[in-house]
Amino acid sequence: MTSQKPNNFLSINLGAIAENFGILQKTVGPHCQVGAVVKADCYRLGADRIVPVLEQAGCDFFYVGSPDEALFVRTLTDKPIGMLNGPSQGREDALIAANIMPVLQSLADIESWLSRDAPAMIHFDTGMNRLGLRADETTILCDRIATDPAYQAFAMRVPVIMSHLACGDDVDDPLNKDQRERFAAIADHFPAAQKSLANSFGIFCGDDFHFNQVRPGMALYGLNPQPGYDNPMTHVVSYHARILQIATAQPDETAGYGATHAFSRETLTATIATGYKDGFLRTLGNSGAVYINGHACPIVGRISMDLTIIDIGHLRKIGDDAMPSVGDYAELLGPHQSADTLALAAGTIGYEILTALGNGSPKIYLD
């Protein structure tokens, strides 16, 4: 990092990510493996920096989405890698050579993999209706395991079976229990395999959802896996943007494109150097806030491509210590505002906040 910071930047606390891994491992206990989900470049936060930190913290299993992700993460670790989105036709040999395990999603996937002398995982759809063997395919597979020696041998070398909770963010939703019971019944046919059902939310649904492997993603990066309760995870990501201009706005003047905000009184505005090209979502216009010297300042008008206007007039009444100068930084994520809180104002989820900002903004890593 140079001494000159950019106009806007993400600060990513690598030590906090390691701490979050430890929190999750302690939550599930020593007999349950924590497999880190590092797909989408660790939610756009930088797999090249984060994967080694997770491995050093004790992570010995990683999950990615695509072949390209898998092959890149393989350059960072020699630990097992599962590829969540299924086998990739035409790239099987390269994946096998790199010791990457695809997650098989259908009977057709399994039939095409039977003759390969390489491990593969299986995903069972127990209620998500997204990916995985549906109920009828699961019945056929279990019948074949019971009667066909080739399928029996295959089942014994499957390293991991998995499913995915549809409503893990609501611990009281009855579908969670239904999915757990369906998955437990399937697991009886794979005695040698690890069983993995819980994502970050599922880890906090209770011990009986842990089986012997969990797959956290968002919780590692500081998002709250217990909606409605205090976040048990350590804060990871901060986002700051430089103040480019401070100006006086008069009553009945307006802010931004479309004049969607009219000032009711004389006030001060600050224009900060971030916008939707940086991943600061346009839906935050007239609804979100940023923090200056610890004080909330509302966003006024629409978010522009690389500029955002905020109202700072109330800071004058607080005192000189509250007032910023041109060149100071506003806090958009940080100690005063989490990604989950900002997501509420944007009408989205913390996942989108992290991936959007991570895709558009420079990064500074705190070791």
Cβ neighbours for 307, distance < 8 A, ≥ 6 positions apart: 244, 271, 272, 273, 274, 275
Q: What's the rounded Cα separation, in Å, for the pair 158 and 120?
A: 6
Contact (CB, 8 A) for 248 and 254:
no
Check: CB of residue 260 under 8 Å from CB of residue 250: no
Pairing mode, if any, of strands 36-37 and 100-104?
unpaired
Angle CA 312–314–320, to nearest 5: 85
Beta bridge partners of 315: none
Chain centroid offset of residue 175 CA: 23
253-284 as b/e: b if 16+ CB within 10 A:
eebbeeeebebeeebbbbbbbbbbebbbbebb
Give dist(CA 289, CA 298) in Å, integer.
Answer: 4
- Give which of 323, 224, 226 is closest to 270, Cα–Cα: 323
Separation of alpha carbons 57 and 71, rounded Å: 22
Q: How far apart are CA 279 and CA 200, in angstroms?
A: 24
Known catalytic residue at 39: yes
**Catalytic one of 39, 221, 276, 291:** 39
Please identify which residue in the block is written with the tokens 């916008």.
275
Residue type, 255: A
Of 151, 257, 291, 351, catalytic = 257
- Using a 10 angstrom Cβ sphere, with 0-12 exposed, 13-18 middle and 19 or more buried, the burial of residue 321 is exposed
Structure tokens at 72: 């890149």
User: How far, in Å, CA of 166 to CA of 160, rounded?
Assistant: 20
5 is catalytic: no
Indicate which residues carry an active-site annotation: 39, 257
